[in-house]
Structure formats: C-alpha cells, structure tokens
Structure 1
Amino acid sequence: MARRNLNDLLAFVTVAREGSFTRAAGALGVSQSALSQAIKALEERLRIRLLTRTTRSVSPTPAGDRLLQAIGNRFDEIETELDALTELRDKPAGSVRITSGDHVLRTILLPRLLPLMHRYPDIDIEFDVSYGLRDIVADRFDAGVRLGESIDKDMIALPIGPKLRMAAVASPAYFSSHPMPKVPQDLTRHNCINIRFPTGGGLYVWEFEKRGRQLNVRVEGQATFNTSPHIVLAALDGLGVAFLPEEEFAPHLEEGRLVRVLQDWCPAFSGYHLYYPSRKQQSPAFALVIEALRL
C-alpha cells in the first residue's frame, strides 16, 4: 500500500478516536483542512462513508467502526515496536501517557517520576488529570491510576500506594452550630458536600463499614463538585461535612482546621494502583515508569 494511503488511514483512526477534527489535527500536527481532505480522499477511494459529522461531534459509521476495530490496534503496535527500538540505544527514550486524579498525581506520581525524567531526558510523560473512569485503551493511554477496588479484571494492577481510609470531616465552625453525627444515618440531617462522578454523572453514595456491616448513605447539601481539592476548600470554609480519602485532609486535620467524625465506620481499603492492559507490550520507557512506581 502506498505511503499516502497509510497516512490517510492514520488520519481516520485519529479522528475516530478523538471524535473531533480539531483535536485530531492537533494530535497529528496538521491543519484541519488537510485532515478533512485526507478523510474525504479515503472515503472516495473506498467508496463508503466512514465518519458521521455533526456540528458538535464526529463519530464512525458502522463501516468506519469496523475499519477502526480492524486497524486501530495495528497502529498502536507499530508505535510500541518503534518505542521498543530504544532498547538498542544508550539512553532509553519514548513517550508515556498516564491518566489519574489530581491528589495522587501530586503525592505519588510526580515525586517518583520527576527523578526518572531528570535521569532520562529522552523520556516524555504526559499526565492527564481526570476524575472519570477513563477507558485507557480507547483513549490511548499507557496506564491509569485508580483505587484498587474499581479496576477491571482484565487489567494488570500494580499497587503504588498504601491502604487508604475514608474520612468524614467538617470545620470546627460548622460543628459549633451542628451536632456531630454519631452514626452514618445522622448525615442525612447535615449539609453535606457532594461529589459527582464525571463518568455516568451520578452522585457518590457515601460508603461506611463497621464490624462487617456495610452501610451506604445518600447525602444532600448545597454544593456538589467533581474534583476533590474544591471539596476540601468548601469544608475548610465551613460549608458542611465532606467525605474523601483521609490523606486529602491530612494537614488540615493535624492542625485542627478540620474535625473528623465517624472514624470507627471507616476501615482501611485497597489504595491506589497503576493499571494497564495485560496484552500491551511494554516499551522501555513504560517499563522504567513501572519500576519507579513499584512499591
């Protein structure tokens, strides 16, 4: 197949995955007009429409989806093999894409991976902050970071942090005018700071456990966020009760700016894990990332 045809196929795969000509053009480093012409030429050559275009989005047609499933992974394999060639060089090189939450990025990923990047200047790492449950295969990430309990069984999961505990907290000012909850059910009478998951759009149901008894509580309150740093700020401002992993509140609890309640209802659970596809061949750069994060 001519080189031009391979370029057109790569253009199609990128647009189909990004769902946007604008994002795809940025990823490929070409103009939107050139990208549009490449897709048009491919569709004319195959005599079938591959993409459905609307004013807001771009999505594959049934024929386009079939082509994407057939060739998309092939381009991924080519990129992996090209990265693997760096094993023949004196200095490892390559790109690694990781998606995670903000807190684990600041407390675990950066402290362990910045020294690696200083040591190997030819290794590039892209950090994507996201609180949704990203499909790392479809979104072309090398790995993601989640709590161990939420990782799909077909992924390799590597522990990168200690066990965690949830913490229900509020400011001293809030508790000066509201009674401290004694059991989780008491939270239904409090102004609670909710978190909405980007994936699915549902509000997080607060989960508690004591001596094997599990209890879920749907709370209500004035404020809802989709990022944990803003929940911490709202709790510090006295808006209400917040519920996050205790490490997010740690310095404020130590210095008395926040007060913890229901501690006996918050047992330890599996902490943060790096996860990646079991079938993915590891590039030298990704292998070094894994070793830097391994406990």
Structure 2
Amino acid sequence: MPHENFNDLAAFAMVAKERSFTRAAAKLGMSQSALSQTIRALEERLKLRLLIRTTRSVSPTQAGERLLRTVSPRFDEIEAELKALGELRETPAGRIRITAGEHPAVSILQPALKRILFRYPDVGIEIIIDHGLRDIVSEGYDAGVRMGEQVAKDMIAVRIGPDMRMAVVAAPSYFKDHPVPKTPQDLTGHNCINIRLPTYGGIFPWGLEQDGREVKVRGEGQLVFNSLAMRLNSALDGLGIAYMPEDQVLPHVKKGRLVRVLEDWCPPFPGYHLYYPSRHHSSPALTVLIEALRYRER
C-alpha cells in the first residue's frame, strides 16, 4: 500500500467514529460528496468494504472496525504530539479544556482565572460544567476536577482544595412549621431539596456519618435540581431543607438566614483534585494551570 498519503485513512477514522458523513465532513472541513469519494477510493484501493451505509446510519464493517482500532490511536497520538510541539515556546500558550462539577468550577476554578489569564494572555481556558464522570481522553478534555476518591487510578491527580464538609440547612421560617431534626432518620419527615446526578443514576443520597457509622438518606421533597445556586436559593426562601457544601452556606448561617442542623453527622472528607492522563504530555499551559490551582496548606 502506498505510504505517501494518509488523508483517506484520517477521513475514514472520522466517519467511523462519528457514524455520520455529515458530522465527519463538518469536522474535516470538506463537502460530503468529496468525503464520500475519498472513502470509496480507499475501499477500492484496499479492495475491502469498510463502511455499511444506510439512509439513516453509517457503521463500520468487520474490516472497518479492525482498521479503526489500528489507525485511530495513531492519529490521536500524532495530534497530541503536534499540539505539544506547537506549545513548546517560552510563553505558555494554547487552550485548556476542563470538565468539572458546578461547585469546584465556581469555588476553585473561577477564582484562579485572574491569576492565570492576566499573566499569560496566550492561554485560553474552557470550563464545561458537568456532574457526570467523564472519560476525559476520549471526549477531548485536557483535565477534569472531581473528588479525590472519584479519580481513576490511571490518572495523575493534583490536590487543589482542602478537606470539605457538607451541611444540612434550612431557613428559620422553615423551622417555624417543621421540627428540627435530631437524627438522620428524622429527615424522612421533611421537605428535602434534592439534587439529581447522572453519576448516581438518580437522586443523590445525603451521606451522613458519626463515629464511623454511615447513613445514606434519600429524603422526599417537592424540589429536585442539578444546580447549586437553585438549591441554596430555595433553602433561603424557606422551601425546604438542603444538603449543601459547607462553604456555600456558612456566610448565611452566620447572618442568621439559615439554620444548620445535624452538624455532628457531617465529618470532613477529601476535597477536590485536578486529574489528567498519566501518559498525557503536560503542555506549558496545563503546567501553569496546575501550579495556579495546587493546594498548599497554610
């Protein structure tokens, strides 16, 4: 097989991964007709059918699947190396894509931006707020932010925040009409403001612990959100009792807007970590971000 042209292999890999000529053509910056001709020429050159085309879908044949498994990782490695070479300059540059939950994005990543962007104007940062656990390699992220215990073992993890605590809170107006819970079991009689996370496949359970005894509470309530701010605002409005990161509610507790309960059932746990692939070439831009976020105990 000729070695001088691999454009047709790259085009095939894009179509096979996207399962669509339309999406693949858009990503490759070429017309669908030109892309179809390229694939047909490749199949003729190899004397193999690589793709099964219907009016609704495109899928690889057995030969196509084998070729995809062979060439796709090579193209990914080449793209990663070219990106790394392009960033080997004195001033860090390039765009960093990060996936993170809402809480670390707001409380840790957002405050760090001004420490990075003013100093390094050629660095760009894209933060995608997502509560699910993502495969950052296959989905094109440079790094992710999650709790320490949620980071996969084959990743490099850098601690970027202190230990955390959760807090069970409600407005004083709520407790005028509802008894103050003394034990986790008492929460079953309350209007709980819940959060739905894709990681858990449903309503996130409230993890309470005391003296090594752990209790997971799945309280009922009128409200379910996937937003930190909406849970907090609903608690402040007296609409129910909420389970929130401690740092988000303490200012309101100190001012009497919220009342904290079951505090002795909320022990500290490992905080947030930035993680990235162990085999990933750490670009100067990513190195700058890591050093800006690295947690240092005072």
Q: Shorter-chain TM-score category? A: 0.7 to 0.9
Tell me what 2:8 maps to. 5
Rounded to whole Å, the distance in 2 between the matches of 1:2 and 1:186 is 69
Where does structure 1 differ by over 4 angstroms across 4 or more consecutive aligned residues? Answer: 19-22, 50-55, 58-68
The correspondence of residues 135-284 of structure 1 with structure 2, limited to 5 A, is 135-199=135-199, 201-284=201-284
In the superposition, relative to structure 1, how do residues 71 and 96 fare at CA in structure 2: closer, same or farther (>3 Å)? farther
**Which residue of structure 1 aligns with residue 285 of structure 2?**
285
Deviations 1:114-134 (A, max 9, x none): 321222222221111111111
* CA shift digits 1:135-192 (9 cap, x unpaired): 2122111111011122222222111001000111111111110001000010011110
With 176-185 and 222-231 compared, the bigger mean Cα shift is at: 222-231
Q: Give secondary structure in 2 for the equivalent of 1:107.
A: helix
Distance 2:142 2:214 in 1: 35
Answer with 1 or 2: which has the greater Rg. 2
2:195 maps to amino acid: I
- Aligned partner letter, 1:165: R
Change (3 A) 1:98 1:43: farther
| Structure 1 match to 2:39 | 42
For residue 209 of structure 1, report the CA deviation from its aligned partner.
Answer: 0.7
User: 1:134 and 2:134 equivalent?
Assistant: yes
Report the CA distance shift for 1:102/1:79 in structure 2 as closer, same or farther (over 3 A). same
Q: Percent identity over the alignment?
A: 51
- Residue 46 of structure 2 is matched in structure 1 by none
Aligned length: 287
* Separation of aligned partners in 2, 1:60 and 1:249: 52
Q: Note the residue ranges of structure 1 that are not aligned, 5 or more in a row.
A: none
Computed over aligned residues only, the root mean square deviation of the Cα atoms, in angstroms, reads 2.8
Question: Is the Cα–Cα contact under 8 Å of residues 16 and 59 in structure 2 kept in the other structure?
Answer: no
Find the aligned partners of 1:140 and 1:157 in 2 and give their Cα distance.
18
Q: Once the 2 structures are TM-superposed, how far is the Cα of residue 246 of structure 1 from its aligned partner? A: 1.0
Give the C-alpha shift of residue 200 in structure 1.
Answer: 5.2
1:252/1:213 Cα in 2 relative to 1: closer, same or farther (>3 Å)?
Answer: same
The answer (yes or no) to whether the contact 2:88–2:284 under 8 Å persists in 1 is no
Cα distance change of structure 1 residues 7 and 62 upon mapping to structure 2, 3 Å threshold: closer
How has the CA–CA distance of structure 1 residues 39 and 194 changed in structure 2, closer, same or farther, with 3 Å as cutoff? Answer: farther
**Following the alignment from structure 2 to structure 1, what is the Cα–Cα distance between the partners of residues 9 and 165?**
50
Distance in 2 separating the partners of 1:84 and 1:67: 26
Q: Which moved more, 1:100-109 or 1:80-89?
A: 80-89
2:11·2:28 contact (CA, 8 Å) conserved in 1?
no
Cα deviation, residue 8, structure 1: 1.1
Equivalent residues of 2:21, 2:35 under 8 A apart: no
* Contact 2:168–2:244 (CA under 8 A) maintained in structure 1: yes
Alignment of 1:56-71 (within 5 A): 66-71=66-71
SS where residue 249 of structure 1 aligns?
Answer: helix
Equivalent runs, 1:104-119 vs 2, <5 Å: 104-119=104-119
One-letter identity of the residue aligned with 2:42: R
Contact kept, 8 Å, 1:193 with 1:231, in 2: the verdict is yes
Deviation for aligned residue 1:250:
2.9
The alpha-carbon deviation at position 89 of structure 1 amounts to 2.4
In structure 2, the gaps of 5 or more residues are 44-48
For 1:222-242, what per-residue CA distance to the aligned partner results, in whole angstroms no more than 9, with x for missing partners?
111122221112111211111
> Secondary structure in 1 aligned to 2:71?
helix
